[in-house]
C-alpha cells in the first residue's frame, strides 16, 4: 500500500465563501507558460524554497497549508504532494505531469498511478479536456484504510517498554513517619 499521510489532513470547516484563491504549485515556474492566457491565479508556490534553513522551510510549509485550509478554492499542480493534501482537504485540483525528459516522464507516470485512480492527470502540452474548475475525489475510504493499516502495523510493535521505577532506597534510608 502506498499513499501519503497528508491524505489524513482534515477537511476545513468554516466559511467556504472565503475560499476564493487559486494556487499554482510546481518544481519551477515553467508550468506558468503552459496555463491558458485567460487563466487567473493568486499565488505560485515553488517546490524549492531557496533556503536550507529547516525552521524557515517548516514555517513556509505551514503558511501554505494554512492558506489552503482558509482561502484556497483550487490547486493547479505538477506535484503529487500538493495534489494529495489538497484532495484530503476537499480542495479541487487540476493535476499535470511535471515537465520532464522521457525517462523522468516514465517515472512520473508510475509515481502518479495511485493519484490517477482518484482524479485525471493531464499532460501539459495536451490540455484538451482539462476541466479548469478542478476535480475532487472522495478520500474518506483512503483515510480509513491508512488508519487501519497504521493500527495493524503499530499493534505488531507491541506495547512500549516500561521503564523501571527507581532506584529504590533501602528501608533504613527512608524517613521515619512521625
State the cell numbers at 100. Answer: 520532464
Of the candidates 135, 130, 118, the residue with the CA atom closest to the CA atom of residue 39 = 130
Residue pair 93/87 in contact by the 8 Å Cβ criterion: yes
- Top pLDDT among 114 and 95 is at 95
pLDDT at residue 104, rounded to an integer: 59
- Top pLDDT among 5 and 53 is at 53
**Neighbouring C-beta atoms of residue 142, cutoff 10 Å:** 21
Whether the pLDDT of residue 2 is over 60: the answer is no
Alpha-carbon torsion (114, 150, 88, 31), positive or negative? negative
List the strands of the sheet with 72-77, edge to edge: 43-46, 21-26, 72-77, 93-96, 121-122
Whether the pLDDT of residue 168 is over 80: the answer is no
- What is the reported pTM? 0.80
Q: 36-92 pLDDT, tens per residue? A: 989 999 999 888 888 899 999 999 889 988 888 888 999 999 999 899 999 999 999
What is the distance between the alpha carbons of residues 83 and 171, in angstroms, rounded to a whole number? 64
State residue 60 phi and psi, 5-degree precision: -65, -45
pLDDT at residue 103, rounded to an integer: 61
Q: 99-137 pLDDT, tens per residue? A: 876 665 777 888 888 899 899 999 888 888 899 999 999
What is the distance between the alpha carbons of residues 129 and 61, in angstroms, rounded to a whole number? 31
Residue pair 115/121 in contact by the 8 Å Cβ criterion: yes
List the single range of 32-41, 131-140, 141-150, 164-173 with lowest mean pLDDT.
164-173
pLDDT at residue 128, rounded to an integer: 86
pLDDT confidence band for 94 (50 / 70 / 90): very high
Residue with cell 500538493: 82
**How do 72-77 and 43-46 pair as beta strands?**
unpaired
Amino acid at each position: 500500500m502506498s499513499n501519503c499521510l497528508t491524505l489524513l489532513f482534515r477537511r476545513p470547516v468554516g466559511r467556504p465563501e472565503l475560499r476564493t484563491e487559486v494556487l499554482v504549485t510546481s518544481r519551477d515556474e515553467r508550468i506558468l507558460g503552459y496555463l491558458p492566457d485567460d487563466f487567473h491565479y493568486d499565488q505560485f508556490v515553488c517546490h524549492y524554497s531557496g533556503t536550507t534553513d529547516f525552521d524557515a522551510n517548516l514555517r513556509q510549509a505551514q503558511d501554505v497549508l494554512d492558506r489552503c485550509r482558509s482561502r484556497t478554492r483550487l490547486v493547479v499542480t505538477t506535484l503529487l504532494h500538493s495534489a494529495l493534501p489538497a484532495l484530503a482537504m476537499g480542495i479541487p485540483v487540476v493535476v499535470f505531469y511535471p515537465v520532464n525528459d522521457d525517462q523522468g516522464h516514465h517515472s512520473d507516470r508510475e509515481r502518479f498511478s495511485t493519484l490517477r485512480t482518484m482524479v485525471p492527470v493531464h499532460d501539459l502540452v495536451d490540455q484538451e479536456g482539462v476541466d479548469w474548475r478542478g476535480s475532487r475525489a472522495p478520500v474518506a475510504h483512503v483515510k480509513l484504510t491508512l488508519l487501519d493499516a497504521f493500527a495493524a502495523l503499530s499493534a505488531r510493535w507491541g506495547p512500549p517498554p516500561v521503564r523501571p521505577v527507581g532506584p529504590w532506597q533501602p528501608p533504613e534510608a527512608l524517613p521515619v513517619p512521625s
